[in-house]
Chains A and B, each alone.
Chain A
Amino acid sequence: MDWIVQHLWLVPALPILAGGIIALLKQRHRVLAASLAIASMFLSFLLSLGAFVHLLSLGHGDGARMVVNFNWFQFGSEWVRLGWVLDPLTAVMLLMVTFISLLVFIYSVGYMAEDENSTRFFCFLALFAGAMLGVVIANSLLLLFMCWEVVGLTSYLLIGFWYANPKAAAAAKKAFIVTRIGDLAFFLGMAWLYAQTGTLLFFDGGAGCLERSALTALVAHTTIFGLTVSTGIGLLIFCGAAGKSGQLPLHVWLPDAMEGPTPVSALIHAATMVAAGVFLIARIYPLMSADIASLPALTPTVALQVVTWVGAATALFGSLVAVAQFDIKRILAYSTVSQLGYMMMGLGVGGVSVGMFHLITHAFFKSLLFLGAGSVIHGCSGEQDIRRMGGLRKFMPITFATYACGMLALCGFPLFFSGFWSKDEILHAAFAWSVSRTPFFMGAFGALLTAFYMTRQLCYMFAGSSRRAQISPMPAHGGHAAGDICHAHSPHESPAVMTAPLVILAAFAVFLGLIGAPSWPWFQSFLGGEPALLNFGAFSGVLPLMVASSLLVFLGLGLGWLLYHRKRIEDADARDALEKIQPDAFSVLGHAFYIDKLYDATIVRFNAALAYICDWLDRWVWSGAVQAFSYLVLALAWLDNFFDSKVVNAGFDAGCHTVSRGGRLLSFLQGGRVQSYLKMIGLALIVLVMLMLWGARA
């Protein structure tokens, strides 16, 4: 086996090690900390590059999957086995994650320059990168789950990085808890899978849980509603994926997560972590697509249908809500939600390659957009409300250019921008989907909206004249790094250390799409494992759809331009153009369909009520009953005693005493004494044993 495969563990180990060392450093060693993090990231980037090249040299076919498994520890008579795998999926993800993390690290050097906790920041970042890479290379669902949880933890820590700001703390908590809900289902699915197959390794020379033998065993039995076991497991695991990558019911944490530093939003909540959910589904795709019939590529199993519908709904929802946001980062967050929906949809309708292609391209242009937004925020001294920006083009040309590239890529501007190719792939697959065509229309409408809100945002931010002067100075974003430093300045371009990554990312955002164009589907074939060949004939099949989607994009751009650019936005406090047209709908969208409110009103409230009811029962009903009973007996005893001592001679006194003592004993039931409670336990034990013996008798 090759060196790189044997030592693939170094890729996650290096950043984790760096994080561990940085954790010991003080704030005055910030330079050392940053350089450590960047150096470790660079090394693991080189390693993953090596792995990628090695895989390329290896050629195609199923031979392009190398696995290293080892025993972790034994419990009972079984060994828990972990391992890592190197296959095209892993290689591509590794390359993407390491590269973007590297750029983001470099960017954060500039962004967090004035923060007083930057060493802590880099420690968390490095830890996150390591855990994420662990998720990518894991060959065991258990290992993947562990790294997955560490990723969740670091995301929590980083969202709440400015814990002094209560909003950030709340957002961190929210993110953590919501993702836990998904992870619970994930864990259940994992346990079920283990119970069924007896292994959690993905690939184990034919014995892994993703390989034919296990899958055939899984699809053999069916559970409730006639679902196959594989479907049940897949759906449970999909819940975890949905939690991580903000699919519809569990998306609520992602927009709030924007309280964190912007590099974090770029790295974790746009490029890598939220993509982990998609990656997970892509990884267990054989399980999702397993069907009673032998396993062709695109059988729309129930699991895949669920994935598709959820993805489509999320895509539409996210782009709808993004239309009506004013916070620059929230817009991007909702667009991320919708794009993740696209990925899921792609996985559902088009298989691994389609979804992964969009994942990769999206990772680049979305992190580009976030970093650009960060640069804007940095330049505007912590301002995040796009209504208070405007006219920034003159002040920060580089940012504008790169941001425009990212924006066009996200809209899917035809031919030259990566987003176009990947999104078109998904739409095409959805069009060809055998089950239903609704997802296609949802996705198409989502594409239109995407173009629209991105144009809106761009116009708000860069076009027109600056609206900062006229507004009363709002309190800068709580505890923001740059917030308190450069207040009074006019907007300024960011330092080179921040703009350089932007330029690099912009280049990728533009040209990355070409590796997956229908004419030369290199990426898909690389994932699929057959040679890629260049034929422009492929265009003919997809041409009408391409034209259609391009038209949609142009329509969206035109609408945006019409509403927001033809008539300049002069006044910061002026109502939004769309709001003028349709205020009610706008407010509904602006509040994200009130889903947060809904959750607060239902789940949270219900929980509190339940707790209160339990408390009330305990306080009044139970103890009340006990007390009432004891008082009753006491009263009886007292009555008896009274009557007796008054009327009859003292001969009965003893009896009364016993009765009253009985009352006192009963009142010990609630005596607040440990020992009386213990006595009750003892009595219960006696009764129990008696009953059991009786049962044994009969």
Chain B
Amino acid sequence: MSPLNAYLLLSALLFSIGLTGVLTRRNAILVLIGIELMLNAANLNFIAFWRYGPNPAALTGVMFAIFSIGIAAAEAAVGLGIILAVYRHTKTTDLDQINTMKG
């Protein structure tokens, strides 16, 4: 198996572990953390493709990873802020209890 495929498999595995957490955890903060992990798996893909891709001289993959790290930081800040705001209303971070949008 080529090293690129190894990295891709690894990132796919990490991605789905993060997804599992997102889909199953009750704590909203941990769901957010899961999303961060999924983002990181995607970054790993970018770096791997840059490294083994046809043309590493153009730093596209690295740039993509850098930008997505920055965006992920912003996303974490806003997400946690939202969670705090929600917590202020419904004194819980349990997603099973935050279902006021129930149709």
A and B: partners? yes
Question: Residues on A close to B: CB < 8 A?
Answer: 623, 626-627, 670-675, 678-679, 682
5 other A-B residue contacts (CB within 8 Å) besides A672-B100, A675-B23, A679-B23: A626-B103, A670-B102, A672-B103, A674-B98, A675-B31
B23 touches A682 (CB 8 A): yes
What 0/1 pattern do residues 72 to 103 of B give for CB contact below 8 A with A? 00000000000000000000000110111111
Question: Is B22's CB under 8 angstroms from A678's CB?
Answer: yes
Does the CB pair B95–A671 fall under 8 Å? no
Q: A679-B23, A682-B23 are in contact. Are A674 and B102 (CB under 8 A)?
A: no
Cβ of B24 under 8 Å from chain A: yes
Known: A673-B95, A673-B96. A678 touches B23 (CB 8 A): yes
**Contact status A623-B103, CB under 8 Å:** yes
Q: Are A670 and B103 in contact (CB under 8 A)?
A: yes
Q: Report, nearest first, the 6 A-B pairs whose CB atoms are least far apart.
A: A672-B102, A672-B99, A670-B103, A672-B101, A623-B103, A673-B99
Interface size class of B (residues with CB under 8 A): 10 to 19
Q: Chain B contacts of A675 at CB under 8 A?
A: 22-24, 31, 95
Which residues of chain B from 23 to 39 have any CB-CB distance to chain A below 8 Å in the complex?
23-24, 31
- Interchain CB contact (< 8 A) of A674 among B19, B95, B103: B95
CB distance from A682 to the nearest CB of B (A): 7
Within 8 Å CB of A672, what residues of B? 99-103
In the complex, number of A-B residue pairs with CB atoms less than 8 Å apart: 28
Identify which of B22, B23, B24, B99 contacts A671 (C-beta below 8 A). Answer: B99
Q: Which B residues are closer than 8 A to A by beta carbons? A: 19, 22-24, 31, 95-96, 98-103
Q: Which residues of A contact B24 (CB under 8 A)?
A: 675
**Cα distance, A274 to B99, chains bound together (Å):** 53
Residue of A nearest to B28 (CB): A674
Q: Hey, which chain A residues are within 8 Å of B22, CB to CB?
A: 675, 678
Which residues of chain B are within 8 angstroms of A682 by Cβ–Cβ distance? Answer: 19, 23
Q: What are 28 inter-chain pairs, A to B, with CB distance below 8 A?
A: A623-B103, A626-B103, A627-B103, A670-B102, A670-B103, A671-B99, A671-B102, A672-B99, A672-B100, A672-B101, A672-B102, A672-B103, A673-B95, A673-B96, A673-B99, A674-B31, A674-B95, A674-B98, A675-B22, A675-B23, A675-B24, A675-B31, A675-B95, A678-B22, A678-B23, A679-B23, A682-B19, A682-B23
Residues of B within 8 A of A671 (CB): 99, 102
Nearest chain B CB to A638 CB, angstrom units: 20
Query: Complex Cα distance A626/B102, Å?
Result: 12
Which residues of chain A have C-beta atoms less than 8 A from B103's C-beta?
A: 623, 626-627, 670, 672
Question: What residue in chain B is nearest A626 (Cβ atoms)?
Answer: B103
Q: How distant is A443 from chain B, measured CB to nearest CB, in Å?
A: 57
Chain B residues with CB below 8 A from A623, complex form: 103
Contacts of A678 in B (CB 8 A): 22-23
Task: For A673, list chain B residues within 8 Å (CB).
Answer: 95-96, 99
Q: How far is the CA of A258 from the CA of B74 in the complex (A)?
A: 44
Chain A residue numbers with a CB within 8 Å of B96 are 673
Q: How far is the CA of A666 from the CA of B68 in the complex (A)?
A: 36
A679 to B95, CA, bound (A): 14
A residues in contact with B99, CB < 8 Å = 671-673
- Bound Cα distance from A678 to B95, whole angstroms: 12
List A contacts of B101 (CB < 8 A): 672
**A670–B103 alpha-carbon span in the complex (Å):** 6
What residue of chain A has the Cβ atom nearest to residue B22's Cβ? A678
Q: How far is the CB of B64 from chain A (nearest CB, A)?
A: 14
Question: In the complex, what distance in Å separates the CA atom of A627 from the CA atom of B103?
Answer: 8
Of the listed residues B96, B101, B103, the one surrounded by the most CB atoms of chain A closer than 10 A to its CB is: B103
Which B residues touch A626, using CB under 8 A?
A: 103
Q: Which of A623, A670, A673 has the most CB of B within 10 A?
A: A673
Residues in A whose Cβ lies below 8 Å from that of B102? 670-672
For the complex formed, measure the closest distance between the CB of B95 and the CB atoms of chain A, giving whole angstroms: 6
Chain B: which residue is nearest A622 at the CB level?
B103
Most chain B CB inside 10 Å of its own CB: which residue of A627, A675, A678: A675
A679 and B24 alpha carbons, distance in the complex (Å): 10
| Minimum distance in angstroms from A444 CB to a CB of chain B | 62
Counting chain A CB atoms within 10 Å of each CB, the highest count among B96, B100, B101 belongs to B101
A464 CA / B22 CA spacing, docked (Å) = 82
In the complex, residue of chain A having the shortest beta-carbon distance to the beta carbon of B96: A673
CB distance from B5 to the nearest CB of A (A): 17
Q: Return A674 CB to nearest CB of chain B, in Å.
A: 6
CA distance A679 to B19 in the complex (A): 10
Task: Find the A residue at minimum CB distance from B100.
Answer: A672
Chain A residues whose CB sits within 8 angstroms of the CB of B100 once the complex forms: 672
Shortest C-beta distance, B90 to chain A (Å), equals 12
CA distance A679 to B96 in the complex (A): 14
Assembly CA distance A43 to B61 (angstroms): 51
- Least Cβ–Cβ distance between B2 and chain A, in angstroms: 20
- Complex: how many Å from CA A671 to CA B22? 16
Q: Which residue of A lies closest to B25 (CB)?
A: A675
Output the least CB separation between A525 and chain B (Å). Answer: 55
A326 to chain B, nearest CB (A): 52
> Whose C-beta in chain A lies nearest to the C-beta of B24?
A675
How many angstroms between the C-alpha atoms of A682 and B103 in the bound complex? 21
Residues of A within 8 A of B31 (CB): 674-675
CB distance from A684 to the nearest CB of B (A): 13
Task: Please report the C-alpha to C-alpha distance between residue A224 and residue B70 in the assembled complex, in whole angstroms.
Answer: 44
Q: For the complex, what is the distance from the CA of A682 to the CA of B21, rounded to whole Å?
A: 13
Residues of B within 8 A of A627 (CB): 103
Query: Which residue of chain B has its CB nearest to the CB of A669?
Result: B103
Alpha-carbon distance A626/B24, docked complex (angstroms): 23
Q: Find chain B residues with CB under 8 A from A670 CB.
A: 102-103
| Chain A residue contacts of B95, Cβ below 8 A | 673-675
A8 and B55 alpha carbons, distance in the complex (Å):
46
Closest to A673 in B: B99
On chain B, the residues within 8 Å of A674 by CB distance are: 31, 95, 98
Complex Cα distance, B24 from A672, in Å, reads 15
Closest Cβ of chain A: how far from B52's Cβ, in Å?
22
The complex places the Cα of A627 from the Cα of B102 at a distance, in Å, of 11
Docked pose: A675 CA to B19 CA in angstroms: 10
Q: Nearest Cβ distance between residue B36 and chain A, in whole angstroms?
A: 15
Least CB distance from A685 to B in Å reads 10
Residue of B nearest to A619 (CB): B103
Instruction: With CB as the reference atom, state the residue of chain A lying closest to B26.
Output: A675
Whole-angstrom CA separation of A541 from B32 in the bound complex: 81
